[in-house]
Amino acid sequence: MRIEEIVYKDYLIFTKQSELPEYVIKIMNEDLQLLSSHDATDKVKVRNKQLPLGVALVYNIVAEAGFSYDELKKFLPLTKKNLAKLLSALYKKNNDGIKNIWIQWMLQFIGFQYGTKYAVSYQASDFVVPDDVILEKNKLVNKLNSGEIDAVEFDEKIKELAKELIKRYEREGRSISDLIHSGGAKNEISNIQRMLLARGLSINSKGEINKVVTTSLAEGHKPDEYVAGASEAITSQYHKSRSTAKPGYLVRSLNELLSQIHISEKEDCGSKKCLELVITNELIAESILNRYDCNGKLITSPPRIGTKIKIRSPLYCKAEDGICRKCLGEIFFKKGYKPGDPLLIVSTSIADALTASALKSAHTGTKLNLQKVDFRKEI
Ligand SMILES: [Zn+2]
């Protein structure tokens, strides 16, 4: 199907076909032609460059905005983040606003076409484990069954094997390595381990070791192994559902408290009390930037780790109409807040961070992390 027909039939109902710029028609017809006549794994030639199909489709579009292939390369792989960077680079590079909107539209359009044509990015064959790795795994299973190694050692060795497997996939350029790199909970070694090698230690709802599951999701679990895995999943879900309520409650409490508190009109309440902090890590060191120390001096560089520092804090503010500038620090003023503004924004940002971390705990909260301890050495 040609772009004119698609636009006419389904898209851009507010734009007449005749209003499509000449270059949009040309580029989109080229891209749609490439898309319909090639597979995702094919290399195709576009603007004198031999490129993988996905890259070629994007390059053909952004080249129109003056991007060279080397410039585009900086934004590959085109993840959500990189796409945002590419678009902002586009707006900086090209002053033609209308053209930028068309380029953005073309990227969106071809991205949708490409994404729906190849709804599955990974093929079943990507999940076939090489024979020698299977052999290695079977050796470990035999050692476990004969008692040569215990459950903890088995778990460790399987994890090592999973790491090696990932490295090999990356070397071979198999698309499963994209899955590992694409972030979130997916890039954990344990997920690859569970999927391809063996589930390993599983726990029951009381947090006790259930059994060692020696099969993977790819080869399939035996009924008892399936139940062992399911009870762990239930535990994870329980922890998740129990912990998500807490940040929700906290944000309500904070909202109620903070809705009354404003940035004071006062510069300095004159409070003599300060909060003493021990700088134990970089995160804490960074967090006190733009706050005032006890002498009223602005902290502009992070203090050394291991030192103690006293800072002005809203905890000890004596201002009657809110919190003064010295106790609050410059953080809010840098964001454009003025005296008199409410501090409600703080509760939202705290709650967002807490909710995200509570949801993440479903992946890591109930995982067993056993370590061998040599008590003779410890004593
Ligand atoms: Zn104060």
Distance 273 CA to ligand 1 centre (A): 10
196, 302: one domain: no
Q: What is the pTM of this model?
A: 0.47
| Residues 185, 216 contacting (CB under 8 angstroms) | no
Q: Indicate whether 319 belongs to any domain.
A: yes
213 bridge partner residues: 200
Distance 332 CA to ligand 1 centre (A): 14
Query: What string of DSSP letters covers 293-353?
Result: BTTSPBP-SPPPTT-EEEE--GGG---SSSB-HHHH-SHHHHTT--TT-B-THHHHHHHHH
Q: Indicate whether 246 belongs to any domain.
A: no
Distance 294 CA to ligand 1 centre (A): 11
Q: Indicate whether 233 belongs to any domain.
A: no
C-alpha distance from residue 176 to each of 21, 112, 120, 169 (Å): 39, 22, 12, 7
195, 292: one domain: no
Distance 379 CA to ligand 1 centre (A): 50
Query: How many other β-carbons are positioned within 10 Å of the β-carbon of residue 91?
Result: 14
CA atoms within 13 Å, Cβ hemisphere of 219:
17
| Residues 262, 322 contacting (CB under 8 angstroms) | yes
Distance 306 CA to ligand 1 centre (A): 27
Region of residue 183 (phi > 0: left; psi between -120 and 50: alpha; otherwise: beta): left
56, 111: one domain: yes
Which among 203, 221, 239 is the end of a domain?
221
Locate 319 and state its tokens.
Answer: 């201002």
Distance 275 CA to ligand 1 centre (A): 12
Distance 320 CA to ligand 1 centre (A): 9
192, 294: one domain: no
Which among 221, 245, 268 is the end of a domain?
221
Give SS3 for 76. coil
Distance 270 CA to ligand 1 centre (A): 6
Q: Indicate whether 193 belongs to any domain.
A: yes
- Across the chain, which has 379 residues, the per-10-residue mean pLDDT values are 63 58 89 87 87 92 92 88 91 86 90 74 71 91 91 87 84 66 58 83 75 85 85 77 80 83 90 91 88 92 90 92 91 85 78 76 58 74
| Residues 76, 69 contacting (CB under 8 angstroms) | no
Residue 278 phi, psi dihedral angles, 5° rounding: -100, 125
103, 37: one domain: yes
**Secondary structure of 168-208 in the HEC alphabet?**
HHHHHCCCHHHHHHCCHHHHCHHHHHHHHHCCEEEECCCCC
What angle, rounded to 10 degrees, do the helices at 223-258 and 345-364 form?
A: 170
135, 210: one domain: yes
276 bridge partner residues: 310
| Residues 188, 363 contacting (CB under 8 angstroms) | yes
Distance 285 CA to ligand 1 centre (A): 22
103, 131: one domain: no
Locate 5 and state its tokens.
Answer: 């027909």
What angle, rounded to 10 degrees, do the helices at 151-172 and 131-145 form?
A: 180
203, 266: one domain: no
Query: How many other β-carbons are positioned within 10 Å of the β-carbon of residue 335?
Result: 8
Please give all residues whose CB falls under 5 A of ion ligand 1, grouped by chain where several chains appear.
269, 271, 317, 319, 324, 327
Q: Indicate whether 88 belongs to any domain.
A: yes
| Residues 277, 311 contacting (CB under 8 angstroms) | yes
Supply the pLDDT for residue 14: 47
Distance 265 CA to ligand 1 centre (A): 11
Burial 225-260 (b: 16+ CB within 10 A, else e): beebbebbeebbeebbeebeeebeeebeebeeebee
Domain that holds residue 41: 3-117
Distance 340 CA to ligand 1 centre (A): 14
63, 136: one domain: no
Which among 221, 252, 275 is the end of a domain?
221
Q: In the chain, how many domains are there?
A: 3
Q: Indicate whether 374 belongs to any domain.
A: no
Distance 267 CA to ligand 1 centre (A): 8
Distance 271 CA to ligand 1 centre (A): 6
Q: Indicate whether 363 belongs to any domain.
A: no
Given the structure tokens 């905005």, which residue do they identify? 65
Distance 264 CA to ligand 1 centre (A): 8
| Residues 323, 263 contacting (CB under 8 angstroms) | yes
Residue 175 phi, psi dihedral angles, 5° rounding: -65, -15
Distance 319 CA to ligand 1 centre (A): 5
48, 82: one domain: yes
Distance 314 CA to ligand 1 centre (A): 6
52, 105: one domain: yes
The answer, yes or no, to whether the previous bond of 77 is cis (omega within 30 of 0) is yes
| Residues 63, 106 contacting (CB under 8 angstroms) | no
Distance 250 CA to ligand 1 centre (A): 25
Q: Indicate whether 92 belongs to any domain.
A: yes
Query: How many other β-carbons are positioned within 10 Å of the β-carbon of residue 41?
Result: 11
Nearest CA among 259, 260, 328, 331 for reference residue 300: 331
Supply the pLDDT for residue 313: 92
Distance 353 CA to ligand 1 centre (A): 27
Distance 74 CA to ligand 1 centre (A): 47
Distance 347 CA to ligand 1 centre (A): 20
323 bridge partner residues: 263
105, 11: one domain: yes
Distance 293 CA to ligand 1 centre (A): 12
Given the structure tokens 């999927």, which residue do they identify? 195
Distance 325 CA to ligand 1 centre (A): 7
Cα(154)–Cα(211) distance, integer angstroms: 12
Distance 27 CA to ligand 1 centre (A): 61
Distance 334 CA to ligand 1 centre (A): 18
Distance 278 CA to ligand 1 centre (A): 21
Distance 312 CA to ligand 1 centre (A): 8
Distance 336 CA to ligand 1 centre (A): 19
Task: Round to the nearest angstrom and report the end-to-end CA distance of the chain.
Answer: 76
